[in-house]
Amino acid sequence: MLIFVLITFSILTYYVVQKITEPPKELQNIPTVPFLKYFWAMISGKRQDEIQHILLETDSRKLGIVKIWNFINWVVYVSNVEYAKQIFLESADVLPKWSYKEGQPIKIYFGTGIALSNGEHWAKHRKIATTAFNKALYPEATGMCTLEFTKILDQCADTQTDIFKLIQLLTLQILGKLCLNSLEEKPVFLDTYRKIVKHVINPLFVLLPWLVSLPLKANVEHEMRVKEFDRFIYDIIKKRRIDLAEQKRAAIKIENRDLLAGMIEAAENEGYDIPDKEFRDDIIVFFLAAHDSSSSALCYSFYFLAKYPEIQRKARNEAIHVLGKDVVIPDSKQLKELKYITAIIKETLRLYPTLTVISPRIAAKKLKYGPYTLPKEQSLAVNL
């Protein structure tokens, strides 16, 4: 009897799992990434180039399209240039961003930030962010942090140094200045921020989101860190609101504001009543996007400059030609003249993009790319 029950249970389990994981018929002609191989690469912390190699192996015919089962649904990854162009040209109504479910670490931490929102909410926040960025991104702010950073580099000149950690410190310092008008040698929130992000992007929690609801030590500590970080951000938001109100009463006009103050001011000018939570979500997104992307881009650039001394010499000669031999902060006009250095940065980003996959989208209707038809509500992403 027991054997009969076990056999029946096994057959039913196999049937249910097969039905759940069976791709829609429209996706049958798209190569499938081996699930166990991909899953193991993700949870074991394989480098992104190793994960990409698995995708390339699957796409042996170089079709530029594969599908992956990610425990939740099937996701189509597109690397074909022509298909990618079509995807980027689709409106947000046709391909809205994929909505993370409540309770997932990414949703809990990033909330409804500009990177994860759609429709009116996205348009409203994009508008005020654009206005604020134009005021906050001025060369002097970045320049002051960079000059301080060169002093740290001078101290490390004769010692072996982890350049990535130093670059992360620099980018966080610049972000602190641009976003929050805080210029500290080591931002107080640095360690907390790093630990939060590490937990949020942990592949195990991304692939198995139900794990975050378990009373694990890692989850409890993460929740405490998020609360600590939130207190820090909310205190600054409150202070910026008070500062702006006082400046408005005193008729004080400030040309260059930090990003947060610029967003609050832009929202008031547009007549938007935006709660602190939404400003917090946007700032968090800006921190992750700018911090990780800038750190990676700078480190790869330094790697190539070290590997190719002749290119390093050309870049140095251009900098001296445009800026002179004195240590100065370049203005906007001088930055435009640094064409060779700009080309180095762009080529580095082409070879090693800071994002490997563009934010997943959901098809609001049936879509066709070449010979492939994607059904409505299909998840897809452009793989860079």
| Nearest Cα residue to 88 out of 290, 372, 361 | 361
Residues 180 and 282 in one domain: yes
* Mean pLDDT confidence for 149-177: 75
307, 329, 349 - which closes a domain: 307
Cα–Cα dist 325/77, whole Å: 48
Cα–Cα dist 108/212, whole Å: 10
Tell me, yes or no, whether 345 lies in a domain.
Answer: no
* Mean pLDDT confidence for 51-76: 87
The range of the structural domain enclosing residue 129 comes to 119-307
Residue 347 has pLDDT above 80, yes or no: yes
Residues 259 and 201 in one domain: yes
Tell me, yes or no, whether 322 lies in a domain.
Answer: no
**Mean per-residue pLDDT over the chain, rounded:** 81
291, 307, 323 - which closes a domain: 307
**From 212-216, 269-273, 304-308, the region with the lowest mean pLDDT:** 212-216
Cα–Cα dist 384/33, whole Å: 17
Whole-number pLDDT of residue 3: 60
**Degrees (nearest 5) of the Cα angle 281, 286, 287?**
95
* Mean pLDDT confidence for 187-197: 75
Residue 12 has pLDDT above 70, yes or no: no
Whole-number pLDDT of residue 184: 55
Residues 84 and 193 in one domain: no
How many angstroms separate the Cα of 188 from the Cα of each of 107, 173, 193, 241, 282?
A: 24, 10, 9, 22, 20
Specify the CATH number for the domain of residue 242. Answer: 1.10.630.10
Whole-number pLDDT of residue 256: 60
Residues 245 and 281 in one domain: yes
CB atoms under 10 Å from CB of 279, counted, come to 23
pLDDT greater at residue 162 or residue 21: 162
Tell me, yes or no, whether 333 lies in a domain.
Answer: no
Residues 85 and 128 in one domain: no
Whole-number pLDDT of residue 308: 95
Tell me, yes or no, whether 110 lies in a domain.
Answer: no
Whole-number pLDDT of residue 17: 46
Residue 230 has pLDDT above 80, yes or no: yes
Cα–Cα dist 227/261, whole Å: 22
**Degrees (nearest 5) of the Cα angle 294, 298, 299?**
120
- pLDDT tens, residue by residue, 202-213: 877 777 777 777
- pLDDT tens, residue by residue, 233-258: 898 889 888 888 888 887 777 666 77
Residue 316 has pLDDT above 80, yes or no: yes
Count of domains in the chain?
2
* Mean pLDDT confidence for 297-304: 88
Residue 353, φ and ψ in degrees, nearest 5: -60, 140
Residues 132 and 220 in one domain: yes
* Mean pLDDT confidence for 149-167: 76
Residues 164 and 287 in one domain: yes
